[in-house]
Amino acid sequence: MKLTDYLGDKPFWRVTVKLAIPVALQNVLTSSFQLVDTLMVSQLGDVTLSAVGMAAQWGWLCGLLGFGLCSGMSVFISQYWGVKDLKGIRRVMGIGLMLAMFVSLCFLAVALAAPAWVIGPGVLDAGCRYLRIVCFSYPAVALTYLLSNVLRGTERVRLPLYVSIVTTIANAFADYGLIFGAFGLPKLGVEGAAIATCISSWLGPVLILIFSAFEKNLLMGPVRELFTFSWKQLGEFCARALPVMSNEGLWALGMLTLNRIYANMGYEYYAGMTIFKTFSELAFAFFVGLGNACVIMVGKSIGQGKIRRGVARRFSVLVPLMGLVVGLTMIAARHPLVSLFAMGDNLSATTISTAYAVTIFCSLEYCFRNISYVQVVGVFRSGGDTLTGMIFDLASLWIVAIPLALLSARVLHLSFLGVVILAYLGEDIPKSILCLIHFKSMRWLKPVTEEGRAGLKAYREEA
């Protein structure tokens, strides 16, 4: 085996960089919404920071379901794009649009009707005030995810990036103005952060549609083509997409459960965890870009009937390797990163020390987390296998990680860091082993195009 078999040659890198960098930058900008909120709200103290962190989990759950829906759509979009089936792509877009609006409106309704149930005890007042406003951004975020996903899946990655630049700048100015009363705006505190998020979130889909009208890209096709699907096509879509949505949704519920366990150990500890997660999500945006490139390149190839494992193998090595590099960089930069949130005496010593400790461990563990990430999100889903990844994800979280966290926190009474270590390792190590075994078996190849099915048949006969 040559080194290029694992890390790629010039043509591989040329396409990967073209697809991954704009998507990574867009996700960095999207993640910075929460970063800006967290940075500015942290000036209001530990309790408010913890409250916003808990309230944001509900929007994060809604966003993950949207991400799951888009991942399910990508199975079809990337393979249809390989054979230039534009009507098929629009049909998938129409189904996704209906499901995205239904899910986001359900989350909005629950946040309005029962904010105290969403937030939980301890930081109720500030969290409820934030959640009742920020929930109106959920449909906008779902629309932005969906429209951006269609554009990226058809290799038009620049427009979503440019729109993210505009909305991120708008969010930063609106945040500063409405939280602290700058630029002649009212000083609204935590409610101001929520209003700023809503305004900037709705800018996203509006700008994408306006610029798409000028570009006359795929989003501007006949509206009737969005809803010309049959019951059979809807069933096939749901068979591939619903396992991904269930995967993301139940995984997110598991993470919310873990976060409740962490929060019950003390709001100062959870505030420290919130700080790490904020800049960790920015770093993880880089891997979302690589995962998107993997989906497009592998899925397009499978859709055309060109069945081979070389590209998938390269991403399987590249993404965990980059995870190690990024993790070591975060450890080296932990002091300036945490100091962004700790200005003056706004945060306690316990919160700051927790942020440092969690950053060191979780950054070292990044490599293991990305082994399963690239397989489940990048390889298996692009190949059409959305069920196996769901099983691996949920089994490792609900059967291993959460029981370990409960045992270590409530029975063994370990430190906060000890609970985090057991939860992370319990989820990622078993899942990584299972994913590598499944990748080697090639059973994740399940094309949705006729060309792909013919190519798979020829590949198996040749093998």
The pLDDT of residue 35 is 66
Alpha helix ranges (H) inside 83-137: 86-113, 115-119, 124-134
| pLDDT reported for residue 122 | 53
> What's residue 2's pLDDT?
62
H or E, element range at 135: none
- The predicted structure's pLDDT at residue 206: 93
Which segments in the chain show pLDDT lower than 50? none
Q: Which residues contact 301 (CB under 8 A, 6 or more apart)?
A: 82, 307, 308, 311
Q: In the prediction, which pLDDT does 218 show?
A: 80
CB neighbours of residue 229 within 10 Å: 18
| pTM for the structure as a whole | 0.71
The predicted pLDDT at position 404 comes to: 94
The span from the CA of 231 to the CA of 360, in Å, is: 50
CA atoms within 13 A on the CB side of 130: 29
Q: What is the pLDDT of residue 433?
A: 94
290, 378 Cβ separation under 8 angstroms: yes
